[in-house]
Structure 1
Amino acid sequence: MIKVLFVCTGNICRSPTADGVFRKIVDEAGLSDLISVDSCGLSAYHVGELPDPRSSEMAKSRGYDLSDIRSRKIKPSDYVQFDYILAMDDGHLRDMRRQAPSANQAKIELFLDYHPDMVGQSVPDPYYGGTNGFVHVFDMIEQTSNNLLIHIRQKHAL
C-alpha cells in the first residue's frame, strides 16, 4: 500500500481539498486498494472539524465529497507511516523538515512540485480570500493531483 498525506496549516481548506480530489482520482483509476490517502494540519486549531464550508461547496460543485474528512493534527508516526508527505506551502515544508526524523526527510515534498508549471511554489491559503481564491486553489489541486497520480503509477509500476 502506497500512503499519501497532504498537509496544510489547520486541515480545513487546502489539505482536505487535496485529500478529496486525490482520493476520487485514485478511486476512478481503480487503485484504491493500492493507494491510501489522508490529510492533516500542522496545528490543532480545528481538530475534529469538517473542512471549511467554502472548500466543501467548491468540491461538491465539481463532483467531489469532503464530508468524511475531519481535521487532525500531524503525528510523529505519520512521518514513518506515509510514503509521500506533501506540504501545501514552503512554511509547512520547513516546519515538517524540522520535526521529522532524518530517515524520513526524503518523503517530505512540496505538493506543487508535481505541477508542470509551479515547481517550488506554494498553494495559496484561500481562507481569508473570497470565492475566487477557492476556485484558483481547486484548479491547482486538480491539475497537480492528476500529475501526482501519473508519477506514482510510473514510479511504482501501477
Structure 2
Amino acid sequence: MIRVLFVCLGNICRSPMAEAVMRDLIEKRGLADAIKVDSAGTSSWHVGEPPHRKTQLKLKEYGISTSGMKSRQLKNDDFEAFDYIVGMDSSNVNNIREMLGQPEHPKIFRLLDLTSHKKDIPDPYYTGDFQETYDLVSEGCEALLKKIIEAM
C-alpha cells in the first residue's frame, strides 16, 4: 500500500483539494486498493473543519467529492506512516521538515516540483482564485500519480 499525504497551512483549501483530486484520479484508474491519500495542515487553526466552502464548490464543478473530509494537523507519526509527504508551497515544505525533524528527505517535496512549473501553488484563501489552484493541483496530482505508478 502506497500512502500519500498532502500538506498546506490550514488544511481547508489546497491540501484537501489535492487529496480529493488525487483520490478521484486513483479511483478512476482502479488503484484505490493500492494507494491511500490523506491531507493535513501545518497549523491547528482549522482542525476538525470541513474543506473551505469555495474548495467544495470548485471540486463539485468537476464531480469530485469532499464527503467526510475534516482538517487535521500534521503530526510526528506522519513521517513513518506516509511514503510521500507533499507540500503545496516552499513555506509548507520547510514547516513539514522542521515539524517532523527531517531537514532533507526525498519523501518530502513540493507538488509542483513534479511539473514544468516548479513553483508554489498559490493559496486561494488569500488570492480568491480557486480555479488557478484547482488547475495547478490537478496537474501536480497527475504528475505524482504517474511517478507512483512508475515506481510500483
User: TM range, normalised to the smaller chain?
Assistant: over 0.9
Contact 1:42 1:74 in 2 (8 A): yes
Give, in whole Å, the separation in 2 of the partners of 1:22 and 1:12: 16
Q: Does residue 148 of structure 1 match 2:144?
A: yes
Equivalent residue letter for 2:92: H
Comparing 142-151 with 76-85, greater Cα deviation is found at: 142-151
Contact 1:6 1:38 in 2 (8 A): yes
Q: Does residue 94 of structure 1 match 2:94?
A: yes
Aligned residues: 152
- Structure 2 segments unaligned to the other structure (5+ residues): none
Q: Does residue 44 of structure 1 match 2:40?
A: no
1:155 deviates by 1.2
Give, in whole Å, the separation in 1 of the partners of 2:143 and 2:127: 26
Partner of 2:117: 118
Q: Deviations over 1:103-124 (max 9, x none)?
A: 9822111111122x212x1100
TM-score, length-scaled by structure 1:
0.92
1:16 deviates by 0.2
Give, in whole Å, the separation in 1 of the partners of 2:14 and 2:103: 27
Aligned residues: percent identity? 39
Stretches (4+) displaced over 4 A: none
Q: Does residue 7 of structure 1 match 2:7?
A: yes
3-state SS of paired residue (2:106): helix
3-state SS of paired residue (2:73): coil
3-state SS of paired residue (2:39): strand
3-state SS of paired residue (1:153): helix
- Structure 1 segments unaligned to the other structure (5+ residues): none
1:67 deviates by 2.3
Comparing 62-71 with 39-48, greater Cα deviation is found at: 62-71
3-state SS of paired residue (1:105): coil
TM-score, length-scaled by structure 2:
0.95
Give, in whole Å, the separation in 1 of the partners of 2:75 and 2:97: 13
Give, in whole Å, the separation in 2 of the partners of 1:51 and 1:26: 20
3-state SS of paired residue (1:150): helix
Q: Deviations over 1:67-101 (max 9, x none)?
A: 22100001100011100000000001111112224
Equivalent residue letter for 1:37: V
Give, in whole Å, the separation in 1 of the partners of 2:89 and 2:51: 18
Q: Deviations over 1:115-156 (max 9, x none)?
A: 2x212x1100000233xx100010111111111111110012
Partner of 2:64: 64
Partner of 2:85: 85
